């Protein structure tokens, strides 16, 4: 059984994962509207991943006999000054996710909930990967600076995500 505290925190995490998938979808649409289909594709995959995270948490709550309570998802930002700013917003979200997962883990330790700690381990590792991959894209966009040619080259590269 899940303690009420853990159940509440897991539901909060589910909402955050949906908040993230929704934000990434908005970022993807922004890229598409700026004629950067590669980045749009990249962010669309990123958005889909967040949905699988939400579903993973939902499954875990159900498996543990808890109650899933979906909340309203906030309106995402839909306008950005540049490709770099759009990806910087994504990195900020990943960092927020990491902080939430860490807080959830700390709560599971406090509550002596070993099953939740075990399930969260996957997410702890996943966040290392997420921050690395988004950070890498941001780093490249920072290197590109104002070079439109480099931006188009990076867009072309981003289009290949999940295709090799």
- 36-61 burial by CB neighbour count: b if 16+ within 10 A, else e? bbbbbbbbbebbeebbebbeebbebb
Select from 31-39, 48-56, 72-80, 154-162 the region that touches Mg ion (CB under 5 A): 48-56
Residue 50 contacts Mg ion per CB under 5 A = yes
User: Min. distance of Cβ 164 from Mg ion in angstroms?
Assistant: 23
DSSP 112: T
User: Min. distance of Cβ 42 from Mg ion in angstroms?
Assistant: 16
Residue 16 contacts Mg ion per CB under 5 A = no
User: Which of helix, strand or coil describes residue 95?
Assistant: helix
User: Min. distance of Cβ 17 from Mg ion in angstroms?
Assistant: 5
- Residues 90, 22: contact at Cβ < 8 Å? no
Q: Give the CB-nearest residue to Mg ion.
A: 53
CB nearer to Mg ion: pick between 50 and 155? 50
How many residues touch Mg ion under the rule CB under 5 A: the total is 2
Select from 28-36, 43-51, 100-108, 156-164 the region that touches Mg ion (CB under 5 A): 43-51
Residue 155 contacts Mg ion per CB under 5 A = no
Q: Which residues contact 65 (CB under 8 A, 6 or more apart)?
A: 1, 2
CB nearer to Mg ion: pick between 50 and 113? 50
Q: How far apart are CA 18 and CA 73, in angstroms?
A: 7
Residue 113 contacts Mg ion per CB under 5 A = no
CB nearer to Mg ion: pick between 41 and 53? 53
- Residues 86, 28: contact at Cβ < 8 Å? no
Select from 42-50, 112-120, 132-140, 153-161 the region that touches Mg ion (CB under 5 A): 42-50
Residue 53 contacts Mg ion per CB under 5 A = yes
Cα 157–Cα 163–Cα 164 angle in degrees, nearest 5: 90
Which residues contact Mg ion by CB under 5 A?
50, 53
């Amino acid at each position: 059984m899940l303690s009420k505290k853990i159940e509440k925190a897991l539901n909060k995490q589910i909402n955050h994962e949906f908040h993230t998938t929704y934000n990434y979808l908005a970022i993807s649409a922004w890229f598409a509207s700026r004629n950067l289909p590669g980045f749009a594709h990249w962010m669309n995959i990123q958005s889909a991943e967040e949905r699988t995270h939400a579903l993973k948490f939902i499954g875990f709550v159900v498996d543990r006999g808890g109650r899933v309570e979906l909340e309203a998802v906030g309106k995402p930002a839909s306008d950005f000054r540049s490709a770099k700013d759009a990806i910087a917003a994504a990195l900020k979200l990943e960092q927020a996710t990491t902080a939430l997962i860490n807080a959830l883990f700390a709560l599971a330790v406090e509550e002596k909930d070993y099953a939740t700690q075990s399930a969260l381990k996957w997410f702890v590792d996943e966040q290392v990967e997420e921050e690395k991959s988004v950070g890498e894209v941001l780093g490249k966009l920072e290197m590109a600076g104002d070079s439109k040619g480099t931006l188009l080259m990076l867009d072309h590269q981003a289009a290949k995500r999940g295709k090799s």
